Structure 1
Amino acid sequence: MKKVWLSSLMAAALISITSHALAEETPAAVNIGFQKANIFALLKYRGTLDSEFKKQGITVRWVEFPAGPQMLEGLNVGSIDLAATGDAPPTFAQAAKADLVYLAHSPANPKTEAIVVPQNSAIKTVADLKGKRVALNKGSDVNYLLVSALEDAGSGYRDIIPVYLPPADARAAFQRGAVDAWVIWDPYYAEVESSTGARRVKDATGLVPHYTFYLASRKFADRYPQTALKVVDQLGDLSDWANQHPQDAAKILSASTGLAQPIWQRALARMPFGAERMTPAVFQEQQKLADKFTQIGLLPVKVDVSSATWSLDRK
């Protein structure tokens, strides 16, 4: 009888310990990095995540960054827990040994980045870029587009003169004719089309997929997996709303960035939002980007993109 009682007590204790282990600790705050023009800015200004987390006693702190590389440096040093960037910045962060994980990704949106030239330019094809000065943000998503477009046209990266400039400086150089072409992404792409009549030579369609990736520090994602998943869920809900209400989304992003609403409407017309869990196929696409950057010397080391896989299965 004593053995039965002792066994029952041990079983009850084991259940209690297991339940406690499975109960996830709730963070007091979630620190999210955002840029004025990305989906987290839309989430910030709508306020739905703040409202949802407030019910759980979680404070959302929004930290603004000028670009993806700086944001992922913040993720690496622990000043933020979550971020959203394009394809290229995570590979550079991984090369720098940042311990991040890929939580999810957007749908491919290749029409949102392009090589553009002035309206009256003699450049008609990618092959015509040979020997020309091409402005771009070094190590960015469009750097991958440019390399891929040149190779597809039978040229190489050494056949052009890259002029590495951030978007604002590239825009000024493009307008005054200091560069022959500009490789850029939305909403800057939509702005230069609208304001100067810039002509598209080639977008990323058929060349590179171009994703937005939703990222977290591994420490945060592993410690607070349900919180991380809740953010992904919120991004999915927000995406459904934005895809169905592009004018409202354009209004919010116009207020965030200072760009006119019609420019954002133009950009959003080719920018599908979404939040999908990572797959082997998407990791393979991201590995191609990393390998290409290593090949042309932009990445100093070979990067194993899949090392940033988040192992939690959604139940």
Structure 2
Amino acid sequence: MTHPSFNYRYRTLLLVLLASALWLAGCSQSGSSLQASSSGSNSKDDKVVIHIGVQGKTGILPYAREKGWFEDSLKEAGAEVQWHEFASGPPHFEALAAGRIDFGAVGGTPVISGQVGNVDFRAVAVTADGRKGNMIVIPKDSPIQELKDLKGKKIGVAKGSSAYNFLYMALDQAGLTDSDVKVIQLQPDEARPALDTGAIDAWSIWEPYATTAVFQTGASLLASGEDLNINAPSFLIARTGFTEEHPELTVAFLKAYEEARIYFTTHLDEVSEDISKTQKLDKEIISRVLKNSQPILLPITPEFAKAHQEQADFLYKSGAIDKQLDTSKVLESKFVEQALKELNEDKQK
């Protein structure tokens, strides 16, 4: 099924994203101040500086940032850490193209957009299967009962995000296209007030925003990836130049991530308490979000690769991207396989 207006809107978004990326990349190559502070640079004491992109407030990376875990782990490997905040996944790729970050954690749709734009990166590990990661939320007392009731409604979503692709796959399952609804570009901090005030009728979003809206306002979940059997893996991404120049630090980063993930998932009560205090959110909300999230760190198995390819194929068939991708070209598991192997060997000692 071809969605003409979806094609136009999404391709316009990609052009803006890629133009920004190319402009930033040009700046980074021009010898400007951006180049001087670029990723993988050496500090005065010859330590490599690893630049990590982070989004959200409840995931492993933001929690580890608060705890200083990556700083401690990577210091042993002779590296320093700098963090860069983003509102969603797509801006990570602008930063990757400009050489301003080396690693990040994003959903599958930004990964596809990055590949379409020829950004030089690799997806190096799977961090979530995506079945519970994206949801469509409707306000309390909404007359909307099922997906087909979205026809003619205003839906907020961050364009280019994993929730954006999820929305269109959900609409497709209901026999709708984007021409049947009004999609409004909103970042999470813009969409929540819009949902609360009735400016939008529904919100396609990821955790923790969905559960927070349900608990705080009585909003309802209309659909999730689990309900619709939509697998949309999330990934850790890495700048190719960094992985080639510093393969040992790439493994060290992944080891630090896995150690953080293990603590994060085995101390949920403590983690929930910490996050509820720093983010001033009810602990019950955070506990529910974390139980829904179930973060993982795994190589990109054939099953995950197939699910990711299906996402790209859907975007191509919908007319959202203008070329068919072989997504396997940006998937690389050797670093995470080595990291997990080394951690397992350490346990045996």
Question: By the TM > 0.5 criterion, same fold?
Answer: yes
Is the counterpart of residue 308 in structure 1 residue 291 in structure 2? no
Is the counterpart of residue 265 in structure 1 residue 281 in structure 2? no
Q: Give the 3-state SS of the residue equivalent to 1:270 in structure 2.
A: helix
Which runs of structure 2 are paired with 1:1-315 in the superposition (5 Å)?
A: 28-37=48-57, 38-205=59-226, 206-254=228-276, 257-310=279-332, 312=334, 314=337
1:142-178: CA deviation from partner (whole Å, max 9, x where unpaired): 1222222222223333322212211122112111112
Question: Residues 153 and 36 (structure 1 numbering): CA distance in 2 closer, same or farther, change over 3 Å?
Answer: closer
Q: Which residue of 2 aligns with 1:11?
A: none
Q: Cα RMSD (Å) of the superposition?
A: 2.2
Shift of 1:102: 1.0
Shift of 1:27: 6.0
AA of the residue aligned to 1:34: V
Give the distance between the partners of 1:298 and 1:257, measured in 2 at CA: 36
Shift of 1:300: 4.2
Q: Which residue of 2 aligns with 1:8?
A: none
Give the distance between the partners of 1:258 and 1:219, measured in 2 at CA: 39
Shift of 1:256: 5.5
Number of residues of Structure 1 aligned to a counterpart in Structure 2: 291
Question: Residues 248 and 72 (structure 1 numbering): CA distance in 2 closer, same or farther, change over 3 Å?
Answer: farther
- The question of whether the paired residues in 2 share the 8 Å contact of 1:149 and 1:207 is answered with no
AA of the residue aligned to 2:125: A
1:113-157: CA deviation from partner (whole Å, max 9, x where unpaired): 211212211111111112222211112111222222222223333
Q: Give the 3-state SS of the residue equivalent to 2:292 in structure 1.
A: coil
Give the distance between the partners of 2:74 and 2:139, measured in 1 at CA: 47
Q: Which residue of 2 aligns with 1:3?
A: none
Give the distance between the partners of 1:43 and 1:278, measured in 2 at CA: 23
- The question of whether the paired residues in 2 share the 8 Å contact of 1:118 and 1:198 is answered with yes
Give the distance between the partners of 1:234 and 1:252, measured in 2 at CA: 20
| Gap runs ≥5 in structure 1 | 1-25
AA of the residue aligned to 1:118: P
Give the distance between the partners of 2:320 and 2:56, measured in 1 at CA: 26
Q: Which residue of 2 aligns with 1:21?
A: none
Question: Residues 120 and 34 (structure 1 numbering): CA distance in 2 closer, same or farther, change over 3 Å?
Answer: same
Which deviates more from structure 2 when the two are superposed, residues 227-236 or residues 211-220?
A: 227-236
Q: TM-score, normalised by structure 2?
A: 0.77
- The question of whether the paired residues in 2 share the 8 Å contact of 1:31 and 1:63 is answered with yes
1:91-111: CA deviation from partner (whole Å, max 9, x where unpaired): 111111101001101231422
Shift of 1:216: 0.4
Shift of 1:258: 4.8
Give the distance between the partners of 2:270 and 2:160, measured in 1 at CA: 32
Give the distance between the partners of 1:102 and 1:256, measured in 2 at CA: 30
Larger Rg: 1
Give the distance between the partners of 2:99 and 2:47, measured in 1 at CA: 14
1:192-233: CA deviation from partner (whole Å, max 9, x where unpaired): 111110011111114322332101011111222221122222
Shift of 1:257: 4.5
Which deviates more from structure 2 when the two are superposed, residues 202-211 or residues 290-299?
A: 290-299
Shift of 1:311: 6.6
Give the distance between the partners of 1:157 and 1:64, measured in 2 at CA: 30
